[in-house]
Chain A
């Protein structure tokens, strides 16, 4: 599970100031048009002072770090796992990022908030309660599924820590909804991938999909898939992406959140994490020094779990 990281505990304002002084750029969240938090790139002390945290801070800002180093970044515990995984793959230099690690009580499922209360509904934390448009709501009901599954409420890596300790849920919830029988699963995924519009929001929101602009999806040689948005091609696309994330995905949940047509990508990333744990006893994004299973080759090893 990794040991708790040691770093000074400060207020968010103090942390942001420290980050701003160090690198002159802080990636955080600030209120947008509807009052909900939105990704914000603070380049002045004034902008930095607007940064905040709350139930609408759903975006994993680790995605933006690779294009903005050196910088400071405000990161939820799940977001710090993305940063750690990037470090263990040599995608990110530890010295080039100032990590403001949050202790996190969880964030809202904004799709659910908007479905229930309409677009523009504002969700915020006041004291220990959540409010939507000023009215107290049942926090457990609006808590994002990824937070209900989360047992790590402390940052994995941090230069400073913000917030009070949070008790993780006694029984983390797993993603459910996958049919039991293989025949039903086939029909389930066919329906899911019939919805796909191939916008690649899943890829582009992913902190670990580092190919981005030179993705195999756009390659004509080799030509693994076409642009035709059929269930088969769409499924092929996501299988390629998942294969590339095997043993790397930290289940930050951004692909699932980003999908405009709500394809159940959380079921696939959960499967990746389970398999990685079973076969390699490996959990991604916990230690910058650990080597991802597909980045190691040990010729002395007797047994290989797959091949």
Chain B
């Protein structure tokens, strides 16, 4: 159990209000009226779409609020691709550089608590207190985003979910407002100023007792006690890594659906002979090109080395830096994997691996 997570969630980036408002009750038939009010605000309102596999602009009507989306909500604050500066040469060859920051106010309705816990992981690295300082594009989006999370019921949890591993059911992550499904409607729980503003637009029932919502449902916990140390011990145990990663196809599906994977690549894209954009796009440590150097050398040329990085980043490197695993147990990587890889099997294999033959000395590396 990650007991260091039993502390309350860090405050949202860029806002000092952890002020939580009173619980209110919204009748089920008034949900669409609330969404209309949220959509009438400046900016965008996104809702889950299982057809699209992600969060899309609300088109009216009842959104599909069953189960979790294939991809996470991280793209709202860390888009798959974004232009962060444009450049242009004038006829004298002088270059003009224009920074681009997108900060359209965006409300995302129906994210899950695994999404809001995932954004908390990204906050540690890209937010105000990140090791390299704030990432201006990320922080601008983050400040402009309101996360309205839907608490899971038992029907939403499937056998790929394992979120109970990483914290209690009432760890709301960076949610601004939590919507608890209850008999006949929803209980709204505002957790920030942005959440209060969103809740204020809800046509809630006045003067009725608000039912006490049940704790959100969670997927079954897995054993991770001691995983950080065990991963470091078995860093050079390539027999283990080759064995447990053998069926991995080295695609990026797990990284790209993951709510915490934030690796990116930057490229200058010419749009014409005299102008272009600098773009940042998601990248994955699963890809062979990820660590390929200009010389042609690739320090992680094998699948085993690449997947070792993925597991170590989630459970050792990141955990050591931030006292927080960068896995939230949403199970998206498990559902998306075309080869049936289950990160829980890997964690278990590492935990139950016997001691290394001679600690400290690299084991024989298999080709």
User: Per a CB cutoff under 8 Å, which of A40, A63, A120, A258 touches B158?
Assistant: A120
- Do B340 and A119 touch (CB < 8 A)? no
Asked if A229 and B80 sit within 8 Å, CB to CB, the answer is yes
Of A120, A254, A261, the residue contacting B71 (CB under 8 A) is A261
Annotate B254-270 by CB proximity to A: 1 below 8 A, 0 otherwise. 01110000000101010
| Cross-interface CB contact of A227 among B159, B246, B250, B267, cutoff 8 Å | B267
Determine whether the beta carbon of A226 is less than 8 Å from that of B253.
no
A199 proximal to B (CB < 8 A): yes
Q: Which residues in B have their C-beta under 8 angstroms from that of A194?
A: 52
Residues of chain B within 8 A (CB-CB) of A34 are 159
User: B253-312: which residues lie under 8 A (CB-CB) from chain A?
Assistant: 253, 255-257, 265, 267, 269, 279, 281-284, 287-289
Set of chain B residues within 8 Å of A227, measured between Cβ atoms: 81, 265, 267, 279, 281-283
Q: Chain A contacts of B80 at CB under 8 A?
A: 197-198, 228-229
B342 within 8 A of A: yes
Residue-wise interface mask of A (203-215) relative to B, using a CB-CB cutoff of 8 A (1 in contact, 0 not):
1110000001100
A-contact 0/1 string along B62-81, CB 8 Å cutoff: 00000000110000000011
Report the Cα distance A234→B139, complex, angstroms: 28
Q: Residue A195 at the B interface, CB < 8 A?
A: yes
How long is the Cα–Cα vector from A262 to B50 in the complex, in angstroms?
Answer: 10
Judging by beta carbons under 8 Å apart, are B339 and A199 in contact?
no
Smallest CB gap from A40: residue in B: B247
A39-63 to B contact mask, C-beta < 8 Å, 1/0: 1110000000000000000010001
B344 within 8 A of A: yes
Shortest Cβ distance from residue B329 to the other chain A in the assembled complex, whole angstroms: 13
Check if A275 is an interface residue, CB within 8 A of chain B: no
The reply to whether B53 and A204 contact each other, CB–CB distance below 8 Å, is: no
**Alpha-carbon distance between A226 and B53 when the two chains are bound, in angstroms:** 22
A260 adjacent to chain B (CB < 8 Å): yes
Q: Find the A residue at minimum CB distance from B83.
A: A228
Task: State which residues 20-42 of A face B: CB under 8 Å.
Answer: 32-34, 36, 38-41
**Interface membership of A76, Cβ < 8 A:** no
Q: Is A189 an interface residue (CB 8 A)?
A: no
Q: Is the CB of A200 within 8 A of B251?
A: yes
The CA of A260 and the CA of B337, in the complex, are separated in Å by: 7
Q: Is the pair A119, B70 in contact by a Cβ cutoff of 8 Å?
A: no
Tell me the bound Cα distance from A145 to B283 in angstroms.
32
Min C-beta distance of B257 to chain A, whole Å: 6
Q: How many residues of B contact A (CB 8 A)?
A: 41
Report whether B289 and A205 are in contact in the complex, using a CB–CB cutoff of 8 Å.
no
Interface of A is mostly: loop
Q: Which one of B52, B81, B249, B283 has the highest number of Cβ atoms from chain A below 10 Å of its Cβ?
A: B249
Complex CA–CA separation, A119 to B332 (angstroms): 11
Asked whether, in the complex, the Cβ of A197 is within 8 Å of the Cβ of B288, the reply is no
B335 at the interface (CB under 8 A from A): yes
Closest chain B CB from A259 CB (angstroms): 8
**Known pairs A39-B247, A64-B247, A260-B338; A213 contacts B288 (CB<8 A):** yes
Contacts of B205 in A (CB 8 A): none
Question: Does A11 interact with chain B (Cβ within 8 Å)?
Answer: no
Q: Are B339 and A260 in contact (CB under 8 A)?
A: no
Interface status of B101 (Cβ within 8 A of chain A): no
> B residues near A, CB below 8 A?
52-54, 70-71, 80-81, 158-160, 246-247, 249-253, 255-257, 265, 267, 269, 279, 281-284, 287-289, 331, 334-336, 338-340, 342, 344-345
Given A204-B338, A205-B249, 14 other A-B residues pairs in contact with their CB atoms under 8 A: A33-B345, A59-B339, A118-B158, A119-B160, A119-B335, A195-B52, A197-B252, A201-B251, A205-B251, A205-B339, A227-B279, A228-B269, A258-B253, A260-B70
Write 8 A-B pairs (CB below 8 A) sorted by A numbering. A41-B246, A119-B331, A119-B334, A201-B338, A213-B250, A226-B269, A229-B81, A260-B336
